[in-house]
Structure 1
Amino acid sequence: MKCWKGENMGKKKIWESYRSPLILLGGIIAGAILGVVLGEKATVFEPLGNIFINLMFTIVVPMVFVSIATAVGSMLNMKRLGKILGSLMLTFVVTGCFAAVLVLVVVNIWSPAANTAIAMESAKVQESASISSMIVGSLTVDDFSGLMSRKNMLPIIVFAIISGLAVSACGGEESAVGKLLENLNRVIMRIVEMIMKLAPIGLGAYFANLIGKFGPQLIGDYGRTMLIYYPMCLVYGMVFYPAYTYFAGGRMGVKKMLQNILDPAVTAFATQSSVATLPVNMKACKNIGVPEDISNIVLPMGATMHMDGSVISSITKIAFLFGVFKMPFTGMGTYAMAVLVSILSAFVLSGAPGGGLVGEMLIVSFFGFPGEAFPLIATIGFLVDPAATCLNSSGDTIASMIIARFVEGKDWLLKGEKNKKGEKNKIEISC
C-alpha cells in the first residue's frame, strides 16, 4: 500500500513538473494529426491560430516597456552593488557572444532549413542605408506614437531605460510612479498568463493549418533542426563551461563546478524553468563558495536575463527562417543583427510566462518576417526548451563564479575556503 502511494505521489510530481509543456505538446500533436487527416481542409483552423498570434503581438510592447522601466526604476545605488551589476552585465553579454559565435559557425556549415519543404514567399529586404541613419532609425522614432508599434522594439527599450532612470531619480520603487509601474507589471504578467492558456489551442490550430497546407513532410524540417541544436548544447556545456570556470577559479573552480552543477542542470532540464531551479542553484553556489550577496543578486537576475541556451536557439531559429523564406543568411550586418537580437531577447524575457514565445516574437519583429513565421519557430522553441533551460540555469551558477572573481579578486575561492575553515574551528572551540 505504501509503495502504491509513493508511486502515486511520484506521478503527481512528474505531472506538476511537466503539465504545461505536456499540454502544449499535446495541442501541437493534435494539430499535426488533424492536419495529416484533414489535409487542405485543415485551413478551417487558421483563424484560431491567427487570433492567438495577434494576442501575443498585442501584449509584447506594453510588457517590454513596463518590465524594463520597473527593473531600472527600482535599482539601488550602492558601490558594491554597482560593481556586481557592472560585472554581471559584462559576463552575461560576453558569454552570450561566445554562444552566438559557436552557433553562427555551426548553422553556416549545417543549415537548419536545408531542403526545407516549407515554401513561402521571400521576405522583402530593405534597401541599404548609411550607418548614421541606421543607428538613428534603430534607436529612436520621430513621434511618440511610434513607440506603440512592435516594429520599433529598440526605441521602446531605450525609452523604457530612460523612463526607469527618471523614476529612480524621483524616489525609485517607493515613489508613486514606481509603485504604479510595479502594479502594472503584475497586471501585464497576469494578462500574459491568460493568453498563454490559449497556447495549446492557438499553436495546435496553426500547426493543423500548416500541416494541412504543406503535408506531414514538414515535421522532417524540425527533426533536422533538433539534430543540429542538441549536439551544439552538449559541446557548449562540455567545452565552454569548464573554460569559464577555469577563468573564474582555476582547477579548483572547475572541480567545484563539476561537483555541484549536476543538480541545477537536471532540475532545469526536468522543470524547464530557470526560476524553479533557483533554490537548487542557490545551494550549489553556497557549496562552491560564492559569496552570498553575489549569488543572491546574480542568480535571480540570471534566471531571467542570462540565457546562453536561448541565444543558441534564437540564432538557430533565425537561420531556419532565413532558409524558409529563401534569404541568404550571410554578411557581417546579418550576423551582427542576429547576435544583437538573440542577446537582447534573452534580456527582455524578464521571467515572463511563455518567455520563449516572447523572444520568438522579437525575432519576427526585428527581421520583418510575416506573422506566419511565428508558429514555425514557436514549435522549434518548444522542442529545444529542455536543453536551452538546462544551459541557461547551469550558466547562472557559472556566471556567479565569474562575477565573484571580478568583485573579490582571483583568489576568492581560496579566501572562501579559509573562511569556512575558520568558522568550523570557531564552532569546534565553542563546543
Structure 2
Amino acid sequence: MKQLINKWNNISLILRIVIGLVIGVILALVCPQATAISVLGDLFVGALKGIAPILVFVLVVSSLANAKGGVKHQFRTVIFLYMLSTFLAAVVAVFVSFAFPVTLKLTDAVSDTAPQSIFEVLSALLNKVVANPVAALTDANYIGILFWSLLLGVALKRLASDTTKNTFANISDAVSQVVRWVINLAPFGILGLVFSSVSSNGLGIFKDYGKLLLVLVGCMLGVALIVDPIIAAICLHRNPYPLVLRCFKESGVTAFFTRSSAANIPVNMALCEKLGLDKNIYSVSIPLGATINMDGAAITITVMTLAAAHTLGISVDIPTAIFLSVLSAIAACGASGVAGGSLLLIPMACSLFGINNDIAMQVVGVGFIIGVVQDSLETAINSSGDVLFAATAEFREWIKEGRELPF
C-alpha cells in the first residue's frame, strides 16, 4: 500500500487532477444517484476555505515581521496591474456586447438583497477593512485579515525579539505544509466536484442560454488569452504565454471547480512558491488579488447589465458604456470571493440605465441559472490572473537585475 501511495504521489499533480476529472464525469454519467461521491468535493473545498484565512494571516504577519524592505515598488506595480486588467476586461465586455447584443427571457424575480449604488459597495468594502479581526478570520473576510495582519506584522517588526519573529516564521512554515497536504488531495476533491456538477446540471443550460454563455465565455477567454498576456508582454518584453498557460493550468483548473477565489488562495500561493517568487510579496499580493483582481466579475456585471438594457430596448451610447466599464471595475472589487459573488452587483450597474430592481433581480436569477459555467470560468480567470500579475510584477524586477526567468 505504501508503494502504491508513493507511485501515486510521484505522478504530476495536474495529471492526477485530470484523472480525477475523467473519473468524476464517468461516475456522474454511469451512476448519478451515488450522491455520496460529491462529499469528496465538499470536503476538499471546505478544507481549502478553512485553512486559507489562517494561511493568509500567518504568512502576512511572518513576512512583514521578518521583512528586509525593498518591496514597496513591486506592490504598487501589482495593484496597478490588477486594476488595469479589471478595467480592460469591462471594456472588452462592452465592445463584445455591442457587437453581439443579447436579450433575455425575464419571467421570475429572485428575492436576494443587492446594493443599489457604488457608495453602498465601497461602504461595505471599508467596513470589511475594520471588521473585528477574530470575526474576519472566522468569516474569511480577506480584506479585513490583510488589514489587521499588516498592522500586527509591522508592530512585530519594530517591537518583537528575534525569537518571537522566528516563532511566527515556524508557524507560517507549518501552516504552509498543511496546505500542501490538502492540495495533494485535489484529485479526489475535483472528482467529487465534477460528479456533483455533471449529475446535477446536465447540458440544459446550453440550450436556453447558449448565446449569453457564448458572449460571457468569449469575453473571459479573450481577456485571459489575449488582453492579460499583452499586459504581461509589455511589462516583461518577452513571450508571456508559457507563464500564462502555467497559471491557467495550475491555478485556473482548481479555481474552475471550487468556484471560489478565496478557496484557491492556498493553490495560488503554492504556485508562487514553485515559480520562486518572494514570499514577502506574494503572501500579501495573492489574497489582495482575490479581492481586487476581478476580470471575470467585471465582465459578468457588464455583459449582464447590457443584456438587460438590450432586452428593454434601452439605447446605450459609447460614453455611458465606458462609464459602465469604470463602474463595473470598481464594483467588481467589492464582489466577494465566493461562488456567485459578482451577480448581486448587477442591480447596482443596472441602476445606471434606470432599470428597476425587480427587473434587475430577474437578471440576477438568470445569472444563477448559468452560474455552473459562468461563475466557474469567472473564478478561473480571476484566480489565475492573481498569480500571473503577481509574477509579472516580480519578474519585471528580475529582468532589471539581470536574473533568469523560470519560463
Which band: TM-score by shorter chain?
0.5 to 0.7
SS of equivalent residue, structure 1 residue 274: coil
Instruction: Tell me the distance in 2 between the aligned counterparts of 1:314 and 1:255.
Output: 30
Q: Which residue is equivalent to 1:363?
A: 349
Q: Which residue is equivalent to 2:210?
A: 223
CA contact (8 A) 1:18 1:271 kept: no
Q: Which residue is equivalent to 2:9?
A: none
Return closer, same or farther for 1:219/1:330 CA change in 2, 3 Å cut-off: farther
Query: Residue 322 of structure 1: CA displacement?
Result: 0.3
Query: Residue 317 of structure 1: CA displacement?
Result: 0.5
Q: Which residue is equivalent to 1:17?
A: 41
Q: Which residue is equivalent to 1:154?
A: 119
**Aligned with residue 317 of structure 1, among 289, 293, 304:** 304
Q: In percent, how many aligned pairs have the same letter?
A: 20
SS of equivalent residue, structure 1 residue 403: helix
Q: Which residue is equivalent to 2:403?
A: 415
Does residue 336 in structure 1 map to residue 322 in structure 2?
Answer: yes
Q: Which residue is equivalent to 2:361?
A: 374
Query: Residue 232 of structure 1: CA displacement?
Result: 2.5
CA contact (8 A) 2:216 2:300 kept: yes
CA contact (8 A) 2:106 2:363 kept: no
Instruction: Tell me the distance in 2 between the aligned counterparts of 1:319 and 1:340.
Output: 14
**Aligned with residue 383 of structure 2, among 393, 396, 399:** 393
Return closer, same or farther for 1:14/1:305 CA change in 2, 3 Å cut-off: farther
CA contact (8 A) 1:245 1:401 kept: no
Instruction: Tell me the distance in 1 between the aligned counterparts of 2:395 and 2:80.
Output: 13
CA contact (8 A) 2:94 2:321 kept: yes
Instruction: Tell me the distance in 2 between the aligned counterparts of 1:19 and 1:289.
Output: 30
Query: Residue 97 of structure 1: CA displacement?
Result: 2.0
Give a deviation string over 1:293-315, Cα, whole Å, max 9, x none: 22111111111221111111111
CA contact (8 A) 2:262 2:290 kept: yes
Instruction: Tell me the distance in 2 between the aligned counterparts of 1:336 and 1:89.
Output: 21
Instruction: Tell me the distance in 2 between the aligned counterparts of 1:372 and 1:91.
Output: 34
CA contact (8 A) 1:364 1:374 kept: no
CA contact (8 A) 1:277 1:393 kept: yes
Give a deviation string over 1:83-136, Cα, whole Å, max 9, x none: 4443333212211122122221111111021xx55489xxxxxxxxxxxxxxxx
Give a deviation string over 1:125-152, Cα, whole Å, max 9, x none: xxxxxxxxxxxxxxxxxxxxxxxx9544
SS of equivalent residue, structure 1 residue 258: helix
Return closer, same or farther for 1:222/1:98 CA change in 2, 3 Å cut-off: same
Instruction: Tell me the distance in 1 between the aligned counterparts of 2:365 and 2:222.
Output: 24
TM-score by length of 1: 0.55
Q: Which residue is equivalent to 2:283?
A: 296
Instruction: Tell me the distance in 1 between the aligned counterparts of 2:79 and 2:363.
Output: 31
CA contact (8 A) 1:244 1:402 kept: no
Return closer, same or farther for 1:15/1:362 CA change in 2, 3 Å cut-off: farther
Query: Residue 348 of structure 1: CA displacement?
Result: 0.8
CA contact (8 A) 1:260 1:288 kept: no
Q: Which residue is equivalent to 1:124?
A: none
CA RMSD of aligned residues (A): 4.1
Query: Residue 224 of structure 1: CA displacement?
Result: 1.5
Q: Which residue is equivalent to 1:95?
A: 85
TM-score by length of 2: 0.58
Q: Which residue is equivalent to 1:258?
A: 245
Does residue 349 in structure 1 map to residue 335 in structure 2?
Answer: yes
Q: Which residue is equivalent to 1:269?
A: 256
CA contact (8 A) 2:301 2:328 kept: yes
Return closer, same or farther for 1:353/1:392 CA change in 2, 3 Å cut-off: closer
Give a deviation string over 1:24-71, Cα, whole Å, max 9, x none: xxxxxxxxxxxxxxxxxxxxxxxxxxxxxxxxxxxxxxxxxxxxxxxx
CA contact (8 A) 1:151 1:366 kept: no
Consecutive unaligned residues of structure 2, counting only runs of 5 or more, are: 5-18, 28-35, 46-63, 109-113, 142-204
Return closer, same or farther for 1:265/1:272 CA change in 2, 3 Å cut-off: same
CA contact (8 A) 2:347 2:357 kept: no
Opposite residue 275 of structure 1, the aligned amino acid is: A
CA contact (8 A) 2:91 2:322 kept: no
